[in-house]
Amino acid sequence: MGKDVLDWVLLSPNAVNQWNKLCQEIVRDKEISDPYQIPDEKAEVMDDGRLRIYCELPGYGEVEMFVEKREWGWNN
């Protein structure tokens, strides 16, 4: 895995909504009573320009989502 770059990127509202929806589905499907059990996410830039957002959810495994290049940018 690459270096975590989440602090240096801006996500589109659509990408944020998609990540939040994914986390809500996992919380519901895995019957997690406390959404704060989901650890802080990290991000890395893929070779094709997409951004991979991910976190390791205890008892579940890795959760990931890929964000198309048009849906994120660098925070200058």
pTM of the model: 0.83
| Selected residue with higher pLDDT from 2 and 34 | 34
* Contact in structure between 41 and 55 (CB atoms under 8 Å): yes
> Residue ranges of the alpha helices (H) in the chain?
13-29
Question: Token pair of 17, please?
Answer: 């909504």
How confident is the model over 13-45, as pLDDT tens digits? 999 999 989 888 877 777 676 667 678 899 999
